[in-house]
Structure 1
Amino acid sequence: MKVNAQSVNFNANPELIHFLQHRMDKLETFYDKVIHSDVFLKVENTSSKENKIVEIKVKVPKDHFMVKKQCRSFEEAVDSACNSLERKLKKMKGKHSPRA
């Protein structure tokens, strides 16, 4: 899957980008018609420890989904966002699958 990752106000390390790509590739097992996705990684300037924000936009035929998660680490936020997308893609696949 084509993943366009953008880090806002910081430079993402290669391990984070690799983790992100690997986790996003797993989404194709739930719905194989994903066209591409845009991921925005942001650090919020607050005193809170949960200042890492991940926004994921996934484009599928005739629709798109957006999930935004805020956690202590980017890995945790990516994992949580991907879990939400998995549920949405499963629901969409159920709606579009032919009834027997």
Structure 2
Amino acid sequence: MNVNIQFINMTTSETMEAYTIKKLDSLVKKFEKIISANVVFKKEKNSKDKGTICEIELSAPGPRLFASSDEKNYELAVKNTISDLEIQLKKRKGIAKPYL
């Protein structure tokens, strides 16, 4: 799987990249048809409580999947975003039927 990670309004972090790739790899083990992932981390300066945004777009057979999360820290944002994507993938897997 090809992973693209971008950081907007913040410095790049190798630790955050490694954490995100680890979480995405666990998702790929469950759903092997994922081709690529585009991950964007944003830091909102005007937000009072949260302001840490993680957006992930997955490329797989069929329409692209997208999820976004706004949390207090990046780890929680990644965890919630991947959880949302997992729900979408389960729904897609339940709907898609192999041709016989």
Q: TM-score, normalised by structure 2?
A: 0.91
Distance 1:63 1:88 in 2: 11
Moved over 2 A (4+): none
Distance 2:16 2:34 in 1: 22
Which letter maps to 2:38?
Answer: D
In the TM superposition, 1:1-100 aligns within 5 A as: 1-98=1-98
Paired residues, number: 99
Distance 2:4 2:28 in 1: 16
CA RMSD, 1 decimal: 1.5
* Percent identical: 28
Deviations 1:15-72 (CA, angstroms, capped at 9, x unpaired): 1100000001111133211110100000001251301001110111121011110000
- Secondary structure of residue in 1 paired with 2:91: helix
- 8 A contact 1:30–1:90 mirrored in 2: no
Residue 10 of structure 1 and its aligned partner are, at CA, apart by 1.5
